[in-house]
Amino acid sequence: MNRSKSSEAIILSLHASGENNTSVTLLTPEDGVLYATLYGGPKSRLRSYVSQWNRGTIWLYSNPEKNQIKITDFEVKKYHNSFSQNLFKLYAASLAAEIAIKTRAAGSPEQCFRLLGGFFDGMELCNEEQSRLGLIRFLWRFIELLGIQPPVHCCGICGKSFIDVNFAKDGLSYYNVNENNFICSECGEGSFALSNSALQYLAALSVLTPAEARKLQIDKNGFEQIKQIIFFLIENSIEQKLNSIESGLGIL
Ligand SMILES: [Zn+2]
């Protein structure tokens, strides 16, 4: 067995381990979430590279006897420095990392890596307002990756199209938890109400590229309604509360 290998990686979190070492959680496209040890004190060159949210090529050495993976080198290709200067970005990145860890990369490491990497790179280039939409897009796609995305293009009962131009933009629709679908107001009420325009926004997110999606408009209320449904879907699927959502209340 080859004990040394290199891989693309995103640094998700770091914790002090012992006096001089750091326990590092990272995401790779091949193995998903990995836990590795970084040896060396605060002055080590490697330690300055292996910092939270950095993406690049990592070199790892496995010691199966000790059941341990050691980081031997890291070449940073993308820094995400703006995350430490903006509270929303910091919490959004923490939420994305927490979801990746708790879902074990959604069981699809390669797609999870691509989604998370794209979200981080996009957020680095965007202001806070654009990043808020970026978080919604990321979570909605992650929900799709988890296989729990409700069908959003038409009413789950009567089949009326939500993306039809004749669909009343000022009416209400509902998300129905029991059936994991969206229904129109004529078919009854569900667990979460949302405006028809918010529902259309969500439907559009599923079919548009990130660049196209960025041009869509959504009002504050619709945005909050979508956010509540998406947070619910994620927490419901992993059957636990997410610390980043709890601690980021009022920020996210
Ligand atoms: Zn209906």
Reading the block at residue 21, the tokens are: 């070492």
Residue 189 near residue 174 (C-beta atoms within 8 A): yes
pLDDT of 247 > 70? The answer is yes
Q: What pLDDT does 107 receive?
A: 96
pLDDT confidence of residue 110? 98
pLDDT of 1 higher than 70: no
pLDDT band at 101 (very low <50, low <70, confident <90, very high): very high
Q: How far is the CA of 219 from the centre of ligand 1 (A)?
A: 24
| Residues facing residue 161 across a β-bridge | 154
Residue 78 CA to ligand 1 centre (angstroms): 46
Residues 6+ apart with CB under 8 A from 77: 55, 56, 57
For tokens 């729990």, what's the residue? 148
| Three-state secondary structure string covering 128-192 | HHHHHHHHHHHHHHHHHHCCCCCCCCECCCCCCECCCCCCCCCCEEEEECCCCEEEEHHHCCCCE
Q: How far is the CA of 222 from the centre of ligand 1 (A)?
A: 20
* Ligand 1 centroid – CA 157 distance (Å): 5
Q: In this structure, which amino acid lies at residue 100?
A: A
Answer yes or no: is pLDDT of 169 > 90. Answer: no
Where is pLDDT greater, at 160 or 33?
33
Whole-number Å distance, alpha carbon 84 to ligand 1 midpoint, is: 45
The pTM of this model reads: 0.93
In the predicted structure, residue 104 carries a pLDDT above the cut 80? yes
Ligand 1: distance of its center to the CA of 184 in Å? 4
Ligand 1 centre to CA of 232 (Å) is 22
The residue with greater pLDDT, 3 or 119, is 119
Q: What is the pLDDT of residues 106-128, one digit of tens each?
A: 999 999 999 999 999 999 999 99
More confident residue, 217 or 177: 177
